[in-house]
Amino acid sequence: MTFTYIDLFAGIGGFHQAADSLGGKCVFASEIDSEARKAYEANYGLKPHGDITKIDVDDIPNHDVLLAGFPCQPFSIIGNRLGFDDIRGTLFFEIARILEAKAPSMFILENVKQLSRHDKGKTLQTILQSLRNLGYKVDWAILNALDFGLPQKRERTIIVGFLDNRVEFSFPKGCGAGKLEDILESDDEIDSKFFASERIVNKRFAYHQSSCVPSIWHENKSGNISSYPYSCALRAGASYNYLLVNGERRLTPREMLRLQGFPDTFRIVCNDSQTRKQAGNAVPVNVIKAVLEAVLNAKTKVER
């Protein structure tokens, strides 16, 4: 199936990777971070526009699918109308105004798991009702990258919508976790800069022992250490040492991209720090591909 799509809050193109693999053509992208735009253009030959709040909807082409991993910006105004007045001033409003103006047939939105609990669920309900007020049939679920062939526990809120209210949609169930060893590089081939100091390694092993190899050791904000045959969620702003392979070394940029489902053909054009940030902010490609495929199939069934 061929379709057109726009990629909002695009990052380094997790949505783009998934959509292109299913026959999609990106007709517009927007990303405010200059380094992410640099990586996006280098990989897809398309330079994203900047700040979405400054883009006129008339400059956005018509499209079949809107894709957006919008930031989880706290909603400071929760009123009773559950419409534009309630979401104005938030970045979700930018999605809503484009949906209202362009009326694409379908959309997929991604956000952190905590969105479903923010303000006792009121924030999510405001979002859902705002989308329904625009005429969309809406559904949502929390999906975990660990269930979609990636060795990373990364739970995300996924919202889908159809302008055709006849569409019957079910979220995909996934196929199980991928193997950590499939994404890890050999220690012998890794630059010494990725290995933690002797002090840090000794500290980890003094508090924790793991019988699982390979494993990713995770230190939380309280200093508690755990290890699993998969990675805990990558985070853009976390401590450099919060995840260590076998308790000894940091993940390389390529390994972090693999954890998010990016192929090795993805070109790394930014420095390690920026790539680590970009991987931490990215959407898991495998999850989005599975959801998008289900969305397209559900829409096709109605059109037959």
Active-site positions?
Answer: 72
Kind plus residue range of the DSSP H or E element containing 153: strand 152-153
CB 254 within 8 Å of CB 268: yes
Which tokens hold the place of 65? Answer: 């699918």
Strand, helix or coil for residue 189: helix
CA-based radius of gyration for the chain: 20
Helices (DSSP H) in the chain: which residue ranges? Answer: 14-21, 34-44, 84-87, 92-102, 122-133, 198-207, 253-259, 272-281, 285-303
Distance CA 279, CA 272 (A): 10
Dihedral, 133, 30, 20, 73 alpha carbons, nearest 10: -50
CB 101 within 8 Å of CB 57: yes
Beta strands 155-162 and 225-228: pairing type?
unpaired
CB 153 within 8 Å of CB 145: yes
Burial class (CB in 10 A: 0-12, 13-18, 19+), 231: buried
